[in-house]
Structure 1
């Protein structure tokens, strides 16, 4: 109920303020499980995609966003819950496996799950090598993957900024990548790697980012 209320209010207002340019909305299946796999440039990415999507897209968010106290804490919790985010403890050593389990539960309910195969935000604008969790989800659930290319969201909320700014962004949804029986007989590790590379190539074609050879690592916390 909270999502329905928030989605009836937030997207129309945000679209008037930010005027995002959106392409390929028809690529998102109207129903059934789907994995929305995007490049990652800004904290705001997890708000931009749900705002422009015609259906709910569930993202994972840091648990601390849901545990604040007082009026500010309640407002933040209501906002993140309202746009469909699920809290996860990113500092837990088992968080990666737990995140995949949560994602499979979401897909099992026939919903859309959003994921950033790079793992964390790109601070230099390059598109990094994808981690194979996205392929694991698709191969396990059978859900199609819709690649997404975000452009300009790093200007919407630069690293270190506490609130979004006025900036034009572009969101491009690509043709769904369906698993089917394409990877039958292939070793599981090779299948996950091949499918992930296919997804990253599709994201790069949509975003136009230069590619980086390695993986993107989370900056150390002080």
Structure 2
């Protein structure tokens, strides 16, 4: 599947890649990337020489329809691992175990430290957990990755990608956290490692950094939209009532 998708992406989008030499030709490594768009999960594993295994939502493998079937076929073809997120804690532990298993096989494991796609193109606080715990448990180097302009190709909620936009992938130098190996249960160390990686992603991507979780930002945005919608509805109702009252007054005057 990768042999089919990669040439198509290069043909239609002409993506560029910088820092490809920072990914080792062999041996374990962790790719830590920002997450701007659903299409990140296509561009990143398809355009790199080595196979990159990401943890993917189980829904990506079970969604009905043509898009669902194509997505499932691609993810299976490039070796993505489905994880059921219905139980958040259990899903997190399963993802960490899967990531450690990938690293122990000497392969490349990919992770989105923000935990979800950015709702507005900004870079959000990395979640303490998967990335740092896998890095400290295995001693594998962490390679920061910045996806560039993929949110312009496929903004949240858009099904079909836009043509005419050239996205990019900027890969940073490997980060060594072996000095903390065996300290994967120390939450302060986990936060420090995560923040250090997020800083490198910010530097590579040029994104504005917001020190809250993306899930909280999504909730705030949704609440603001709901509030604006309610205000607009109230204003429309008040305007309609005012017009109705004006018509009544005009009718009384005429009579």
Deviation at 1:182, TM superposition (A): 5.4
1:155 to 129, 152, 157: 152
Partner in structure 1 of residue 21 of structure 2? 26
Partner in structure 2 of residue 181 of structure 1? 179
Partner in structure 2 of residue 204 of structure 1? 202
State yes or no: 1:66 paired with 2:64: no
Maintained 8 Å contact 1:107/1:141: yes
Correspondences of 1:105-116 after superposition (within 5 Å): 105-116=101-112
How many residue pairs get matched?
Answer: 216
SS of aligned partner of 1:149: strand
Q: Which has the higher helix share?
A: 2
2:161 to 161, 164, 171: 164
Deviations 1:12-33 (A, max 9, x none): 2211211111100000011111
Which structure 1 segments of 5+ residues have no match?
1-5
Which structure 2 segments of 5+ residues have no match?
223-255
Partner in structure 2 of residue 140 of structure 1? 137
Partner in structure 1 of residue 212 of structure 2? 214
Q: Report the TM-score when normalising by structure 1.
A: 0.89
SS of aligned partner of 1:102: helix
| Residues 1:10 and 1:97: Cα distance change in structure 2 (over 3 Å) | same
Q: Report the TM-score when normalising by structure 2.
A: 0.78
Deviation at 1:165, TM superposition (A): 2.3
Give the ranges of 4+ consecutive aligned residues of structure 1 lying more than 3 Å apart after TM superposition: 68-76, 182-187, 218-221
Partner in structure 2 of residue 82 of structure 1? 77
Q: CA-atom RMSD, angstroms? A: 2.2
Where relative contact order (Cα < 8 A, 6+ residues apart) is larger, the structure is: 1
| Residues 1:63 and 1:17: Cα distance change in structure 2 (over 3 Å) | same
| Residues 1:204 and 1:101: Cα distance change in structure 2 (over 3 Å) | same
